[in-house]
Structures are given as structure tokens and as C-alpha cells.
Amino acid sequence: CRVVAPDVRVRPARPSLPELRSLYGFGVRAFAVNVATLVIAYADTAIIGVVLGAVPVGLYSLPLRLIEQSRMLVQGVTQNLAPELSALRARGETARLSGLFLVTSRACVTLSAFVNVHLVLLGPAFLTLWVGPAMAEESPRILLCLG
């Protein structure tokens, strides 16, 4: 920094109380959303393991991994748009915010439906080739429910 711009001074900054509230307020909410997502994603596997034993967990967890790829794809789209949606809300541009939200929602639903239909149709054959014939019977129903 000093070589490129010698007049620039880099030193620790003391954030103001409103800046801290903004930063940590968003961080706490984002943390809570991430924890809730993990609980939703993995509670079912734990419940299956406790109630039915270890074998059904294996039959369930592999189709779940395929469906999670679909979730991650849609999550990638929404996470990239979150800063823009937040900026629109902060500026009070509610008309643009609702329009962008609706377009994004439609795109995510379309993308999710497209990927999930293909996973439900092609996933059992893939899992049978990958894991073996034990997946051929159970995976279509599991993928359909998860999708």
C-alpha cells in the first residue's frame, strides 16, 4: 500500500455503534438462518438413525446428497442476489424490490423444478450404478419425496 499510494495510512478503525449494530445484526440473523438450514437438512437423518437403525440411513443419505446439489444451486442464486435486494430495501425502492423478488422467485422455482425432475428421473439409475442394486428399489421413492 505504501509503495503504490504513500499518502494512504492504514490503521485500525473504531466502528461506531450504528455500524456495529448493522454488522452484527445482519451476522446474527445470517447465523440463525444457517443453523436452521443445517437442522432442517440433517435432523431427518438423525431421526431415521435413532428410530430405524443404521442401514436405512445409508439408503436415505445418498439420495439426500443428490437433492442437496439442487438446494445448493438455488441457494447460490439467492445468495448472489441478497446484497442487491438489501440495497433496494435500504434505499426504499419497494417497487423494484418486489419486481426483482418475483423474477428471482420464479427463476429459482423453475430451476429447482427442472433439476429435481431430472434427479427424480435419472437419480435412481445413477445411484444404482454408483452404489449397487440395493439402491434400485428404495431410491426412486426417496428422491421423489425429497425432491
Segment 106-135 shows an average pLDDT of: 88
User: How far is residue 98's CA from residue 104's CA, in Å, rounded to a whole number?
Assistant: 10
Angle at 106 between CA 75 and CA 70, to 5 degrees: 35
* Longest CA pairwise span in the chain (Å): 70
Tell me, yes or no, if the pTM score tops 0.75. no
**Number of separate helices (H) and strands (E) present in the chain:** 4, 0
Q: For 10-63, what is each residue's pLDDT tens digit?
A: 778 888 888 877 777 767 777 888 888 888 777 888 888 889 888 888 888 888
Q: According to the model, what pLDDT value does residue 108 have?
A: 87
Dihedral sign (CA 58, 108, 92, 15): positive
Please count the other Cβ atoms lying within 10 Å of the Cβ belonging to residue 57. Answer: 18
Segment 79-104 shows an average pLDDT of: 85
Using 50, 70 and 90 to split pLDDT, how confident is the model at 114? very high
- Answer yes or no: is pLDDT of 8 > 70: yes
Please count the other Cβ atoms lying within 10 Å of the Cβ belonging to residue 60. Answer: 20
Helix, coil or strand: residue 5: coil
Q: Which of 62, 40, 47 is nearest to 138 (CA)?
A: 62
Residues 6+ apart with CB under 8 A from 142: 59, 60, 63, 64
Residues 6+ apart with CB under 8 A from 139: 59, 62, 63, 123, 124, 127, 128
